[in-house]
A = this chain, B = another copy of it.
Amino acid sequence: MPDSARQKPYSEISARLKLLAHPERLQILDTVRRSSQCVCHLEVLLDKPQPYVSQQLRVLREGGLICDEKDGLNTYYCVCDLGVRAWLDTILGPVPAERSRPLAGCSCPKCTAQELPIEWVLAASF
């Protein structure tokens, strides 16, 4: 039996589900699956203190659900794993086609730029 066909133990699967079973973490995932976002963006979106947001991001990062990419002072998070995307598609529904917009109150380059950076436009239409 090939390893890909063998089901993971229930304890492993439920450990991953536990990371999803949390309203704020779920909203973070729903946001960063649309396009990568920085911590201050999520901070405004969730209306939670920055350490709180960073903490939940760490849980998701160490659980392998999101990846981080640093750019200067900012750290952008995104959903890189295709299997995770599939789970989110089932649980939250497919990613809507609409492009994400600058968020008032977020001071990151993405949200304050006059011209949209090309890689952001590409990411939004993922």
Chain A residues within 8 Å of B, Cβ to Cβ: 7, 9-11, 13-15, 17-18, 20-27, 30, 86-87, 90-93
Contact = CB atoms under 8 A, between A and B. Distances in A.
B87 A90 contact: yes
B17 A91 contact: yes
B13 A17 contact: no
Contacts of A24: 10
Interface of A is mostly: helix
A49 B93 CA distance: 38
Given A10-B26, A27-B10, A87 B91 contact: yes
Contacts of A91: 13, 17, 87, 90
A23 B10 contact: yes
Contacts of A18: 21
Contacts of A10: 23-24, 26-27, 30
B7 A14 contact: no
Contact of A21 (B17, B27, B30, B86): B17
Nearest to A7: B93
Which of A23, A92, A93 has the largest number of chain B CB atoms within 10 A?
Answer: A23
Contacts of A9: 23
